[in-house]
Amino acid sequence: MPIVRCVMMQRDEGDMLARWLTHYSGLFGFENLSIMDNGSSDPWTLSLLKDAEARGTHIYWHLNTHHDFLRKGGHIGNIVHHWDAEYNYDFALPVDCDELLGVFTENGLSLDKQKIHTAFEELLGRHSAFRIETSLFNVPERPDWYAPIRHFHKGFLASHSLTATTSQFQGGTPGTSQRD
């Protein structure tokens, strides 16, 4: 099974953070999650972060300024370089707190762990960046409805490929389901 490491930045996301932690820890394990906390003060959020940290998630508490928020991409790059030096893993997946990873199957969108891992397995051995082709944005007037947006691309990387990548992403299989 591929090892996927996730990274994201958040501040006082509370309920979305709870859903994010449940989803990604269920897919990849707490030990493969890294969260840059951008200065949370909400007690619920802080409790979730401390619990996740106790379960093995790396929390970057010191990235707590507006400048750190503006430099999020640089911080993610530094974290991925650290992973390359210190960990055995297959993919680096930067996401936002309101994004859940899913895959499109012949039966529609799936958040199933095995189907998501199968999609990553198909990409093993490719040393490159990958583009997630479709994001699903919520439709505020229609609860539980999502609109596919094909011009808003997200990406992820094979391990040890950050220096080999360019701003162009190559096609990948996994997709995100953005909620809220």
Give 57-109 pLDDT, tens digit per residue: 999 999 999 999 999 999 999 999 999 999 999 999 999 998 889 998 999 88
- Domain range for 58 is 4-178
- Separation between Cα atoms, residue 37 and residue 74, nearest integer Å: 15
Q: How many domains does the chain have?
A: 1
Instruction: Dump pLDDT digits (tens) for 15-66.
Output: 999 999 999 999 999 999 999 999 999 999 999 999 999 999 999 999 999 9
CATH of the domain at 159: 3.90.550
- Separation between Cα atoms, residue 55 and residue 106, nearest integer Å: 35
Entry pTM: 0.84
User: Angle at Cα 75 formed by Cα 138 and Cα 28, nearest 5°?
Assistant: 60
Residue type, 21: L
- Separation between Cα atoms, residue 170 and residue 167, nearest integer Å: 10
